[in-house]
Structure 1
Amino acid sequence: MSENTTPLKLSVIGCGYLGAVHAASMAELGHEVVGIEVDVAKAESLAAGRVPFFEPGFEELLRRSLDSGRLSFSSDMADARGAAAHFVCVGTPQRRGEYAADLTYVEAATASLIEVLGPGELVVGKSTVPVGTAARLAEQVAARVPGAALAWNPEFLREGYAVQDTLHPDRLVYGVPSLSGADTAVDAEKVLDTVYARIVADGTPKVVTDYATAEMVKTAANSFLATKISFINAMAELCEATGADVKQLADAIGHDDRIGRKFLNAGLGFGGGCLPKDIRAFMARAGELGADQALTFLREVDNINMRRRIRMVELARQVCDDSLLGKRIAVLGAAFKPDSDDIRDSPALNVAAQLQLQGANVRVTDPQALPNVRRHWSQLDCVDTPEEAAEGADAVLLLTEWKQYRELDPGSFGKVVKTRRVLDGRNALDREAWESAGWTYRALGRRNV
């Protein structure tokens, strides 16, 4: 076995969504991995093969990695001792009342890890952090543990595709000390190449750069995607004003290979735990650096995105004869995107709550997210199936484009509603099929027939 394919002992600090997937994936690659999670119940649950969130393919990966004997979980940081690389995978939520990222968990995890860190070992940041964080943490590591070092290796996981994105990423990015002005005996690139040996061998593109660039890659990528989504939603606003059709517009401009069709689906906009907080943290950090004018456009990106939710409520009122009071509304979808149970900053739930505040009787359904909805949005009425949600409904709103909702038969589904009105908040339904079955179809940015 060559040097670059030698299995390593690794630790993963923080076993939420990112950390748990990363830990199991590294074990799948052949390494000995210990996941460190301060939440004892979560650590025990993962150790027993119980998955605390929904992610396609992850449960099978977790159990396979546990059964191999290469993966374990602990709530004791001391169990991370002796690992060649320690991956910091804790959350960086938006600070309450501010745009900036809250680095409390990153700083606490790094401080605890330093207590057990040894010379020659590598701390690897994967959390999404403001530019400048890695350099500051690298100084702390070097000061406390001479001979240890820090690298930054941002993650690019898409919820619903996290296992695929970890084991078969479209690129690897290393922010290494040697390109960041730090003098260290640890060859960070070599260690990371050993960690990702199978991925590197597959020919995955690799960018080796300084800390600042590596930190910016994730936020820049998310800002670009958010901008593209908000661009087509801004076009949807113009389409509604002019009578144009945003889906056909997106198809037409998407044929230009400089633009591409991906992320040009007009609708309710983005949510979740990454894009909204990342673009806001990016703006906040630019302001701290005196470069706020460079990112002022992101404020409008954010505004356009939030306007989509308001517009969806207005459209629901319009189709319900200009009054939501007492109307029964079925909401299909609660997660911020399909193939996930994540309801953080969910546009669907935001719309559902606004409809209810304006007097509608709202019933929400979702294939995976209902336990989270019942836990955090107890004011909403949740039901298990689309048919239960739509029984006697004055209007049906598709707000998360789950496959089972896209494939509903509009003829049989129409038998349970009071009035066949559907609002396609994701431009995901076959308009012709629904209209042929007697439904009034409306969607954001689509021509009103």
Structure 2
Amino acid sequence: MTTLALNNVRPYGEDVTNILIDVADGVIDSIGENPFDDADEVMDCGGNVLLPGLVDMHVHLREPGREDTETIATGSDAAAKGGFTAVFTMANTSPVIDQPFLAEAVWAKGQEYGKCDVYPVGSISQGLKGEQLTEIGLMSRSGVRMFSDDGKCVNDPQLMRRAIEYAKAHDVVLAQHAEDHRMTEGSVAHEGEQAARLGLRGWPRVAEESIVARDAIMTRDYGGRYHLCHASTEGTVELLRFAKNQGIDVTAEVTPHHLMLTDEKLDTYDGLFRVNPPLREARDAEALKQALLDGTVDVVATDHAPHGSEDKCVEFENAKPGMLGLETSLAVVHRIFVEPGLADWRFVAKVMSERPAEILRLKDQGRPINVGEPANLVLVDPQSPWTAHGDEMASKASNTPYEGIEFSARVVGTWLRGTQTYDAKKA
């Protein structure tokens, strides 16, 4: 097969058109009013929405080291099912991705599997110990575009300053997990009325916000590109808005679960809802929604974090933090923003594809749906009700916080450079 016709599609949810893909070259060949019925393969897309393939700046695929919970292959399957054509997998594996050969191995394995471009994130400090910087220059020459100790915060201000200076010199992004560990020791839930009522150790907003403020000032003074992982508080939004108004090169992400869920979910003490940073209060979720709408927060990133049942089906305090996200994120964003009319599909494309690719300077991901652009695409049926169940996920794990929740938007097809990586009809 050399050509594929996607007839009767609505790019960005707008006017119906027809798209011809040159599969051999992996690009969009033509867009026109007349169906391409003479293509090698013709698909009637039923007027469904076509978007650029999604890009996730923040996932945990667990390989190497915890292949019992996720692998590059199963994570790629989950990504394709969720509409993603590129993901960035964090460095907190075993061993930690702190050497060029480890980063190169992750990239090569993802390319060999071929379902999704899996970009390795390099650690900021060796072994995630927060003591000595990794070889940021060498790793950047191996193709690493982003560095993060995610799972841990770079608490040492002097080490963070040096990281910012090195990252600037090599034009790579530093992604910070903002958490002052001195304020969160033993904490498992947002510090508020709910945690107090349930007898859970509280996690204050200031633990996040103090690091955000410090790092914004450092980025102002020493330059570079700084990205905030999983923003979770109203105060963080205010700090980001201040930083951007000052012209500081700061970007930020929000997770689907911090947009949709609050600490009210903790009533059952279910370990599925243990996450870092914790689920906050309704006013935090509302502030994050508005910040995403007005651009103060730039992107949606899943923080996809698979865990086995032995790590989740335990006392809440002992549950490992993290939730699945790749297969539900588009449905969550649709439910929060598109269904109530707060935003359109172009907004979805911006925060889940175009802006992440722009921040990470990807040349063939997050591109507009135009002739000559890479055929990295996702087809979405906005009126196809389905219910989230962990045991039906493509991920190796099943720890979804949306168990039993019904969504209306479903990914029905994903293409990576013209090759279909997910087909709902065959799933």
Question: TM range, normalised to the smaller chain?
Answer: under 0.3
Higher strand share: 2
TM-score normalised by the chain length of structure 1 = 0.27
More relative contact order in 1 or in 2 (CA 8 Å, sep 6+)? 2
TM-score normalised by the chain length of structure 2 = 0.28
Q: Give the greater-gyration-radius structure (CA).
A: 1
